[in-house]
Amino acid sequence: MLAHHFVVADDHRLNRPAALRWLEELADEQPSGAATAYLPPGSASSPDVWRPRLAAVAEAAPSVTRSETGAVLFWSAERAYAVLPPFPLPSSSFLDGWDAAPLRTLLTRQYRYAVAYVRLGRYAIGVYEGERLLASKTDTRLVHARHAAGGWSQQRFARRREQQARELYDAACAALAERIAPYKESLDYLLLGGERHTLLAFRKRCPLVEEFAGRILDHRLPPVREPNQAALTQLPRDVWTSTVLVLDTCPPEQG
């Protein structure tokens, strides 16, 4: 089989109802050469027939191979779709035709997950089942901005600022432990949001986070200016979003 070159012709972000409707429409189509691949995050092995296809997709859309939730590829001779699901795919499979059943199952499952937004000055903790908020806590803690002056005064200010940040991380960690306690054994995932360096410091300060090793999603939460109750209420719409990449294919150029 000839390899193909891909071009990302379009991309869509679909909420859960829209993604399910799109899959219904997709099921009505079975174009020539239709096939489906389910690729969990980090999956490496694939049947021989899929290797040139996956290489071509990765070249055109690197986000497919970097996705922390994996990807579903709907392949045909003329067009392909790559779907980045809201939660990680549990296993790999390579199927004949456009088979959306495993993805539909994922989208209709009521995942139970905790969310921790941590920014310097404020945190927000939420526990969800599907799109329903089960428990939450938000709070503010004073963390001074960086000091521009130099010398001894600056060093003293920096130590005070570091202490304020540690107090914020400890408060957020305690709030996370308290809110997830009734649901801890049934939680599927922990989602973290905030600036990268702040989250790294929070994870070092909060041993509870590492208890979710292998179940932490670092990049599913949208950036928010104020991690507050309103942000927690609106969050499921973004958490359940699937990204659909439309990939147009064409034969390789002849040299």
Does some domain include residue 227? Answer: no
Q: Examine the domain organization and report whether 116 and 217 are in the same domain.
A: yes
Question: In the chain, what's the furthest Cα-to-Cα distance?
Answer: 73
> Is 230 a member of any domain?
no
**Mean pLDDT of the region 234-248:** 94
| Domain assignment of residue 186, yes or no | yes
Could you tell me the CATH number of the domain that includes residue 202? 3.30.420.60
d(CA 124, CA 135): 11
* Enclosing domain of residue 37: 5-109+240-250
Q: Is residue 228 in a domain?
A: no
Q: How many separate domains does the chain show? A: 2
- The number of beta carbons lying within 10 Å of the beta carbon of residue 170 is 14
90 and 188 share one domain: no
Q: Are residues 153 and 96 in the same domain?
A: no
The mean of the pLDDT values for the chain is 88
155 lies in some domain: yes
Same domain, residue pair 97 and 183: no
Residue 232 domain-assigned (yes or no): no
Residues 72-129 have pLDDT tens digits of: 999 987 889 999 999 999 999 999 999 999 999 999 999 999 999 998 889 999 999 9
Tell me the pTM: 0.86
Same domain flag for 138 and 205: yes
CATH of the domain at 92: 3.30.960
Report the alpha-carbon distance of residue 130 to residue 123 in Å, rounded: 22
Residue with tokens 């305690």: 174
Q: Which residues of 197-206 are buried (b: 16+ CB within 10 A; e: fewer)?
A: ebbebbbebb
Instruction: Report the alpha-carbon angle 100-104-110, nearest 5.
Output: 165
Mean pLDDT across 23-48: 89
Q: Which residue has the higher pLDDT, 182 or 6?
A: 182
Same-domain pairing of 95 and 117: no
Tell me the C-alpha to C-alpha distance, in Å, between residue 116 and each of 4, 111, 160, 179. Answer: 42, 16, 24, 11
Residues 200 and 130 in one domain: yes
SS3 134: strand
User: Are residue 131 and residue 155 in the same domain, yes or no?
Assistant: yes
29: its two tokens: 């189509």
Alpha-carbon dihedral sign for residues 65, 71, 76, 79: negative
